[in-house]
Amino acid sequence: MPISDPLAAAAEGLGTVLIRPARAEDAAACEVVFVAARRTWHWHPPDSADDLAAESKGERQWVAEDRQAGVIGFASVWVELDLWFLHHLFVYPDRQGRGIGAAILQAVVDCARPLPIELKTSTENTGAVRFYQRHGFVITERPAHASPPWIRLRRVSGYDE
């Protein structure tokens, strides 16, 4: 699998961030990102069990690796024959809002082509919904009585940024 070019983010003082397929030894660092980012969700039960390894078993993963800080973000995707389901996309809280999530998502989009990508997220996660819509996703499902409420988004291949 090709490794994407390093994302030069030096202008923002981030150092150089590389987007690459995850390796087995990245699991602990991804778990740290996952737990830290979920703790910022005001709608997420504080006592919930956050077990990324169990939740992402069998999924294809990418990480964002900072030369100094190590893994600062990741994506985890369930690959089906006709569809890629983006199960997780997380960036460490201190590093959010600087283009890292967009770079990881781009790596997933490039590999998924020509298949569409779908995901589900909480309706409370308005920042993420805005992020996905800006990257070509559209809301395809909004169950009226889901508890907790969630929406499904879909990005068809061929969408032009």
Ligand X SMILES: CC(C)(COP(=O)(O)OP(=O)(O)OC[C@H]1O[C@@H](n2cnc3c(N)ncnc32)[C@H](O)[C@@H]1OP(=O)(O)O)[C@@H](O)C(=O)NCCC(=O)NCCS
Query: Binder to ligand X among 29, 100, 111, 112 (CB under 6 A)?
Result: 100
**SS3 label, residue 78:** strand
Instruction: Return the CA Rg of the chain.
Output: 15
Tokens of 31: 């778990």
Should residue 101 be labelled a site residue for ligand X when binding is judged by CB under 6 A?
Answer: yes
Stretch that binds ligand X, among 1-9, 96-104, 109-117, 149-157 (CB under 6 A): 96-104
Q: Which residues of 134-155 are buried (b: 16+ CB within 10 A; e: fewer)?
A: ebbbeeeeeeeeeeeeebbbbb
85 pairs with which residues across the strands?
78, 118
Residue 22 near residue 74, CB atoms below 8 Å? yes
Contacts of residue 88, Cβ cutoff 8 Å, sequence gap at least 6: 34, 52, 55, 56, 74, 75, 76
The only residue of 27, 50, 96, 115 in contact with ligand X, by rule CB under 6 A: 96
- Binding region for ligand X (CB under 6 A) out of 20-28, 52-60, 109-117, 123-131: 123-131
Q: Does 130 bind ligand X (CB under 6 A)?
A: yes
Report the residue number, 101 or 116, with the smaller CB distance to ligand X.
101
**Cβ nearer to ligand X, comparing 90 with 137:** 90
Nearer to ligand X, 115 or 125 (CB): 125
Q: Helix (H, G, I), strand (E, B), or coil: what is residue 42?
A: coil
Q: By C-beta, is 104 or 111 nearer to ligand X?
A: 104
By the rule CB under 6 A, 60 interacts with ligand X: no
- For the bound state, the minimum distance from the C-beta of residue 113 to ligand X, rounded and expressed in Å, comes to 20
Q: List contacts with ligand X (CB under 6 A).
A: 37, 40, 88-91, 96-102, 121, 125, 127-128, 130-131
